[in-house]
Structure 1
Amino acid sequence: MKSQVIETFGEPSVFQYKEISKPELKPGYVLVQVKATSVNPIDTKVRAGAVPTVAPEFPAVLHGDVAGLVSAVGEGVTEFKIGDEVIGCAGGFRGTDGGALAEFMLADVDLLAHKPKNLTMEEAAALPLVAITAWEALFNRAKLIPGQNILIHASSGGVGHIAIQLAKWGGATVYTTASSQEKLEIGTRLGADVTINYREESVHDYVQKYTDGKGFDIVFDTVGGENLDRSFEAAAVHGTVIAIATRSTHDLSPVHLKGLSLHVTFMLLKIVNKDMHKHYGEILKKIARVVEEGKLRPLVDSNIFTFDEVSKAHEYMESGKAIGKIVLKNCW
């Protein structure tokens, strides 16, 4: 079958077209005819060799997010049948059976859900990793409840734009930050109650302005680095900070002084550990229902790439110019 593979870590140019064997079906798995995938920051990090502990063996087919059609069903599979439209984050990392940058992908059914009927394949492929991450962070870690106020950083980011919609669905009052008027408007369209230009307002100023200096019940940091320190500053006493990028060093004095709870969400842990797969599949099914209720929709960048343009897609991701998710469609 046709595929894009890497045989060494490196720049986006390391991708190369290659004919490889179609995966062999096994019990508990389905063979998915891939229609689309999306680029996540972790995909570029795997390609570059920045996270070798989760990288698959060479030659490697990357990308976890997939939308496609079930073309074959393994022994013991009852939930899916040939022809079903499915989504999932089901490969491209250590311990999985190949990624989505190929004509077919072998996927553990515990990592899949039926594709929401109101999404195209391209839209659906943008959903799994970021939506699972946001759900895990908001509902399983932060235990968000109706009536709380939450600050979500990066309104147009992959995880951030999904988190805004899920937090609103969960009954929270949502505040979000962005760096430009265009991105602030996106936050408003997605349902945020208040948008904040972090380049024009300091943390102290917007905490004073919107919470009378008390801080936010929950702060969801999807950025990392120095922004995590700003998240500590923005959180209320006994508040909760959730982070998805914490490979950095920080002074935890504010965490101590405020009695904060700090949670780190790294969704790949449950991808590379097979005994945790079912949990993510259950989350994805819940997300699909929210999508079909019309309460959640992925934001897809206007630049759509093909699988033959995967190097360009990775370059675009690393340029920081994308608005929402970068999607690739399979034209093979």
Structure 2
Amino acid sequence: MKPLSKMQALIVDDFQTATFRTVEIPRPQPTAHQVLVRIKASGVNPLDSKIRTGKAPHAKPVLPAVLGTDLAGIVEAVGQDVTAFQVGDEVYGLTGGVGGLQGSLAEFAAVNADLLAKKPTNLSMREAAALPLVFLTAWEGLVDRANVRADQKVLILGGSGGVGHVAVQIAKARGAKVFATASVAKHDIVQQLGAVPLDYRSTSIEQIVQTFTDGHGFDVVYDTVGGSTLDDAFQAVGNYGHVVSCYGWGQHSLMPLSRKSGTYSGVFVLLPLLTGKGHAHHGDILRQATQLAQTNQLRPVVDPRHFTLDTALAAHEAVEAGTAVIKIAIDL
């Protein structure tokens, strides 16, 4: 039996072997403006496996590291001046695993209280842990940048992915008419989430624009894929429209966008964690997620497989192989 001052965690030592090592490390104590969370579930994003394998230098990992960006759990203790939470509260958030911050593949984490929100009462810990990074990424693009609103036509490129399937639900909740590209096998999921599913492989972007907007283009296009898909987003947007991307890292011609007087916004959801600025806004956005979930306008799709700390590497490999049913969570 381990002492109360210790906790179990997974450590990644290097990017070459890129494996997890089970260790006992000191249990953190909350300092001022922090809460100690007993972690019940850790969400797995493509970013998490990229960090583990050294493919995400922009996340500024500091090795050896406890990875895991998203968590859901129960407040175990509160630091000085924390008034928003109390012991026993169920919370969730995008709280670490980057920039030298301890991640969620551990039994406990001491995290900035501003990054957290109370967990939706109608979601399980697994479902809540699947939400923060993808919801924050979708909301920052659709709401903070593009101000999606009723009666707009919105196209989500990659609508059955982690960010995409949440973006569909946010746009629908705000009254937009939503269209989303997805593989044919996932059209049913996209339709259930509230979007018109589009077959991107057999239909050109020009055909999509002609069929669903009478050639005028979409008011807002959210690219969650990057590369040539972002170029297609510039083709798909209408005059004075707005393109958003969370993968806008390549070389692209802005001419198609500029000739429509369109605007572009990039989304880099890790900025508050990496800079220490903007924590409170992330907490505010997650409170919006809680409200949407509790009014049955938001529900993450979580893979039914159950992973634990012992099988965390298999969870990462499932994400890497593309076999996940949208989101995967690790149970603690």
**TM-score, normalised with respect to structure 1:** 0.95
C-alpha separation in 2, matches of 1:215 and 1:166:
20
**Aligned: 1:308 with 2:313:** no
Instruction: State the Cα distance separating 1:284 from its structure 2 match.
Output: 0.7
Instruction: State the Cα distance separating 1:225 from its structure 2 match.
Output: 1.1
Instruction: Give 1:124-273 correspondences, 5 Å limit.
Output: 124-180=128-184, 182-192=185-195, 194-273=196-275
Instruction: State the Cα distance separating 1:57 from its structure 2 match.
Output: 2.0
Check whether the contact 1:4–1:61 (CA below 8 A) recurs between aligned residues: yes
4+ residue segments displaced more than 6 Å: none
Percent identical pairs in the alignment equals 45
| Alignment-mate amino acid for residue 223 of structure 2 | D
Output one character per residue of 1:36-74: Cα deviation in whole Å (capped at 9) or x when no partner. 011112212211222334233222001110000111111
Instruction: Give 1:35-54 correspondences, 5 Å limit.
Output: 35-54=40-59
| Alignment-mate amino acid for residue 190 of structure 2 | G
Instruction: State the Cα distance separating 1:118 from its structure 2 match.
Output: 0.1
Q: In structure 2, which of residues 318, 321, 330 is the aligned counterpart of residue 319 of structure 1?
A: 321
| Partner in structure 2 of residue 14 of structure 1 | 19
Aligned residues: 326
| Alignment-mate amino acid for residue 320 of structure 1 | G
| Structure 2: runs of 5 or more not aligned | 1-6
Task: Give the secondary-structure state (helix, strand or coil) at the position aligned to 2:307.
Answer: strand
C-alpha separation in 2, matches of 1:229 and 1:8:
35
Q: Which moved more, 1:295-304 or 1:65-74?
A: 295-304
Task: Give the secondary-structure state (helix, strand or coil) at the position aligned to 2:277.
Answer: helix
| Alignment-mate amino acid for residue 238 of structure 1 | Y
| Structure 1: runs of 5 or more not aligned | none
Check whether the contact 1:5–1:62 (CA below 8 A) recurs between aligned residues: yes
| Alignment-mate amino acid for residue 155 of structure 1 | G
Task: Give the secondary-structure state (helix, strand or coil) at the position aligned to 1:300.
Answer: coil
Q: Which moved more, 1:238-247 or 1:300-309?
A: 300-309
Q: Which moved more, 1:107-116 or 1:267-276?
A: 267-276
CA RMSD, 1 decimal: 1.2
Q: For residues 56 and 106 of structure 1, do their structure 2 counterparts lie closer, same or farther at Cα, with a shift above 3 Å needed?
A: farther
| Partner in structure 2 of residue 84 of structure 1 | 89
Output one character per residue of 1:211-245: Cα deviation in whole Å (capped at 9) or x when no partner. 11111011000111111111111111221110000
Task: Give the secondary-structure state (helix, strand or coil) at the position aligned to 2:71.
Answer: strand
Check whether the contact 1:156–1:323 (CA below 8 A) recurs between aligned residues: no
C-alpha separation in 2, matches of 1:222 and 1:54:
18
Check whether the contact 1:38–1:125 (CA below 8 A) recurs between aligned residues: yes
**TM-score, normalised with respect to structure 2:** 0.95
Instruction: State the Cα distance separating 1:304 from its structure 2 match.
Output: 2.5
Q: In structure 2, which of residues 288, 301, 316 is the aligned counterpart of residue 286 of structure 1?
A: 288
Q: In structure 1, which of residues 113, 118, 126 is the aligned counterpart of residue 122 of structure 2?
A: 118
Task: Give the secondary-structure state (helix, strand or coil) at the position aligned to 2:208.
Answer: helix
| Partner in structure 1 of residue 299 of structure 2 | 297
| Alignment-mate amino acid for residue 277 of structure 1 | H
